[in-house]
Every structure is written in structure tokens, then in C-alpha cells.
Structure 1
Amino acid sequence: MEWNHAIQLWPQYKVITDIPEYNPIEPYIPKTFAAEVFRAIEKAEVDTSQSGAADNEARVAVLIRVILVEISSLFSGAVSNDAEGYIAGTASSQGRIESIYTVLGACVNVVLEVKAGGIRNRNFAQMMAELESCDMLNVSRQLNLNTLQGVLSSQTEWHFWAYDRRGFTVSEAIAPYHRDEKQEIMNRLKIVARLFGQFLKGYCPALHAFIRRSEGKASLNHSSQH
């Protein structure tokens, strides 16, 4: 999807700077957990370099995969890779996704997109389409979340997203690689904390959505018996 298509779907956003700023939560990350994540990242990056696959997309994919594996192990959810798949929404909005985090195999909470090189306007448009499409998928399953989370990442910048059907919000960019080692560590810690926060923020509402759906079905069954 190109940005001019996004303008047609969401006319309130003429330029990407019209999208309100998102301030994701950054929960406290225990030092032991952070150390585990950083060790896993270091090992994965070494393995990637030795395999000769250290191009931009591979480096980003390694980074996000390692963080996802470590974080998802703390939750009863699943991260599925669907790089070749499409999630259909309306006729005018269809999103291609890289990975999604789901609870109980049905409720989408976080949409994750990996891009080689820099982030461009069309990547923003694509993320918007993906978030809307996944929200429609949840609704079709009678699993309504107030907010859906998203991550748009590249070698040079990460953006965190939120979508609540009224509109989108997006965070400022965070650089996962930096010439200053201390700044790089701080940036990566911030990325881990924000992604952990998105999983945490989506997990409990997803469970509540399943409860509401079950209660609704139980109410219908009770009514049909009288």
C-alpha cells in the first residue's frame, strides 16, 4: 500500500506527522531478564555474521526474533510468522503481515513488521492497513479489544503503534544500532521494555475478550431454553 492510498482511507492523516504521538508503557525489566535477552542477541548476531547472511533485513529479523522468543516465553501466547500471508479486511483495506502475537490461537494482540533499510511513508501506510485488518479479524471472531498494538522495525529505527478504531498513534523512532555503545544498550533496553509492555498490555484484555464472548454465548443459550 502506498501513502496516497492511506490518505483515501484515513483522510485525517495528510502526512505521517499528522498521526498523534504514542507513548508506550515501559515496564520495569529485571536485570537478569535483560541480560538473558542481550546475551541471546549477541549470540544470534555472531551466528548471523558467520553464516554470511548479515544483510540489513537479516540483522533486523534476528534482533526482533530473539526479543520475541524471550518475551513470548513469559506469556501463554504464540508468535506466528506469516511473511507470505495476507489478512483480508474490507475490500479497500488489506494488510500483509510479518508476524502476529495471538492469545489462545485466536485473538491478535500485536502486529509486527520488519523492513530492510529505512522506514518510508508506504511502510506507515502498510502498518495502518495491517492493524485495521487484524482488528477486523478479531471482531469477526467476537473478540473485541479496545486497542491493538503494532511494531514497525528496521535496522535504523523502530516505531511502536496503537490502533483503537478511532485512529492510530505512533511513537518516536528508536535506533537499535548506535555508534555509542552505551546509547545502543539504552536504546535496546527501551525496545525490549516497550515490546514487553505491548505483550503485557494486550494479554489481559485478550483474556477478558474471551470471557466476554463466552458469557455472551452462555446468555444466548440460556435465552433459547426459555
Structure 2
Amino acid sequence: MLNFSHLYSQLGIMALPLLGCSLLTLALLLERTIQLLLFSGCSHKKIQSTLNQLEKDDTQGIHSFIQELKKRRALSAKGNAMLLAHRDFEKGLREDVAGLWLQEKRHQLRSGLRLLALIGMISPLLGLLGTVLGLIDMFKDVAATTGSITPNILADGLGLAMRTTAIGLIIALPAIASSQLLGLWADRILSRLEHSLNYTNLWIEGVFSSNDSMSENIQHKIIKVNA
């Protein structure tokens, strides 16, 4: 494994900032991936299927289902458990509670993604700064040379300049790509979570009864209203 002194000889004074950006990118990428995997590990259809088998007045069954959901890590399980626990609240108050909970989880899901994007913007600039500093060192060596200028004199400065630019881009590409992809993943989790909570909220309101599908219930209620 390369030690820092060797890294410094290859990248100059930009070695430490670039190393810090690369380590932070790797740490954020691993942490966000693990977090999103844990949050998306519950089936929304399974929750809906269980709700359709319960009756609104089955207090014991609902309580058992809430306890089962609380044991899971997935956001859909936690959110539905929270909503069912507040089923006795008025609809407006229950929706306010769910909205605040969703806002907190949205912040939690997208935490760190802006920092990844910021690293993706800063890393090429750090590499460019290293390039400029490498060229400055090269010209200093050229100015201090009294004899003929050989390729060896130019090689160190140009090599340092090219290496810092390359490393900056190598760090920036995965940082920017991962921030966008993880953001899309987080948005997908939130979208499915909102759908699941809306379904549960409507089930609490009695829109969906046991063993009836969504479309059949809505169609039945529309016909009943028109009649």
C-alpha cells in the first residue's frame, strides 16, 4: 500500500486535500448505500394485503400488526405503524403527523447527497490547482537551469500537473454519479412510501374494506354516491 510520503511525491501539496476528498466520497457512498438498502427492505403490497384482511374494529389484530411493523427497519413498515397507531386521531391531524414524519425521513434519506455533489465540484478544481502549481514548479526549475533544457527537467513538473488533474477527475466522476443515482433511489423510496401511507390512511377512513380491491371499492362508492 502506498504511504503518504510517496503520495506526496506524486501529487505535491494537493495530496492531502485529494486524499481527504476520496476517503470522504468512499465513506459517504458506503453509508448511504447501506442506509437506503435498510430503508427499502419491506414490501408495500404485503402491508396492503394484511390491511385488507383486517377489520377497522379489530383492535387486537391491528395492535399485533403494529407491533410486527415496528420490529422492521424499512421506512414503509415504520411509517404504517406510526399511522395505524394514530388511527383514532382526526383525519387532518393524522395527516399533519404523517407529513412531519415524511419530512424528517426525506431529510434523512437525502442526507449526505449534497456533500457528495459538492465533492464532485471541488475535486476537479483541486486537481486544476495542482496542475497550475506543477507548472509553476516546472518553470522554476527551467529558470534555475543554466545549461540546455532537457526533457528530464520538464518531466517532473508536467507529471505532477497531469497526475493531479487526473486524480481530481477520478474522484469527481463517482461522487457526482453516486449523488445523482442515490438521489433517484431515495426519491423512489419516498414515492412508494407516500403511496403506502396514503393507502393506509384511506383504509383507516373506511375507503377500503377487507378482501376488496382498491378499484372495486372506489367504483362501488362512486356508484353509491351517484345513486
Q: TM-score, normalised by structure 2?
A: 0.29
* The structure with more strand, counted as a fraction of residues: 1
Which of 1 and 2 has greater Rg?
Answer: 2
* The structure with more helix, counted as a fraction of residues: 2
Bigger relative CO (Cα 8 Å, ≥ 6 apart): 2
Q: TM-score, normalised by structure 1?
A: 0.29
